[in-house]
Amino acid sequence: MTFMVQNYHGYESNILFFDQSFISRCPIFGKLSKKNIRMASLVDQGIELPLMEAFYTLQGEGYHKGGAAYFIRIGGCDVGCHWCDVKESWDPKLHPATAIDKIISNAKDYSDTVVVTGGEPLMWDMQPLTAGLKDKSMNVHIETSGAYPVSGIWDWFCLSPKKNKLPLEAAYLRADELKVIVHNKDDFRFAEEQAELVSAECKLYLQPEWSNRDKMIPMMVDYVMKYPKWKVSLQTHKYLNIP
Ligand code: SF4
């Protein structure tokens, strides 16, 4: 017997978790509507993930820029940045629940370095996916807003905080790299505020928001010369015309 269930994020899955003997013994099961049946689905367990796309390319941004990596883009994000360049990732229901075993074996065919991005990958339990990737001896990186609980095993944790849904404390503590997107002047103030919350070893980057880059890059260059703890990160993949 299969039920369409809806998880915390509204993602629907065809999942069977109750066998017939459980159903016959359960006094309230028949009274529950589908929407009230909130049970752990394969997606909630991280055994399947809403996969938007996966591709082999170069990391364009931040500390690892220029290195080849296999990108796994997970659907789902409710952070709502108005300048987001992957808005099609926001609705997880648009992206097929995909078995992590398949994601992992595809990744291994291309690269030893994987970047998990989104969307917001930490909306989902990343433990099973990252454990599977680590079993294959892969380097596993994440790009996250940090707005959801940290799960998973990460060799590199890139935190890109957003003003409208701030990171949780665990994300600041875990960050290897802080990448603040600069869309306007106030983002320099925000960047300093965020830098106070990460470890002393965390690498600090300012990255111009793509649509406003011509205006912001000169300001960023001046800012980094004045405050050299920061470095500039550019979306080099967009200059290279690669994904
Ligand atoms: Fe887009 Fe990332 Fe902001 Fe989500 S957190 S809205 S994916 S830029």
pLDDT at site 41: 87
- Which secondary structure element, helix H or strand E, spans residue 169, and what is its range? helix 169-174
| Confidence (pLDDT) at 155 | 98
Quote the CA–CA distance of 154 and 99 in Å, as a whole number: 20
Smallest CA separation from ligand 1 atom 7, residue: 119
* Any ligand 1 atom below 6 A from CB of 144: no
Amino acid letter at 101? D
pLDDT on residue 16: 41
pLDDT, residue 182, reads 98
Which domains are present in the chain? 1-44 (no CATH), 49-240 (3.20.20.70)
Token digits of residue 164: 């409208």
54: which residues sit within 8 A by CB, 6+ positions away? 70, 71, 72, 73, 103, 106, 107
| Cβ atoms 130, 81 nearer than 8 A | no
CB of 96 closer than 6 A to ligand 1? no
Q: What is the pLDDT of residue 12?
A: 55
Mutate which of 88, 89, 166, 209 for ligand 1 pocket (most atoms within 8 A of beta carbon): 89
Nearest-CA residue for ligand 1 atom 1 is 84
Q: Is the CB of 129 under 6 A from ligand 1?
A: no
- Return the pLDDT at 25: 47
Mean pLDDT by 10 residues, the chain (243 residues): 52 47 47 48 95 98 98 98 97 97 98 98 98 98 98 98 98 98 98 98 98 97 98 97 96
Residue 92's φ and ψ, nearest 5 degrees, are -65, -25
For the chain, the residue count is: 243
| Beta-carbon count within 10 A of 10 CB | 11
Whole-number Å distance, alpha carbon 123 to ligand 1 midpoint, is 12
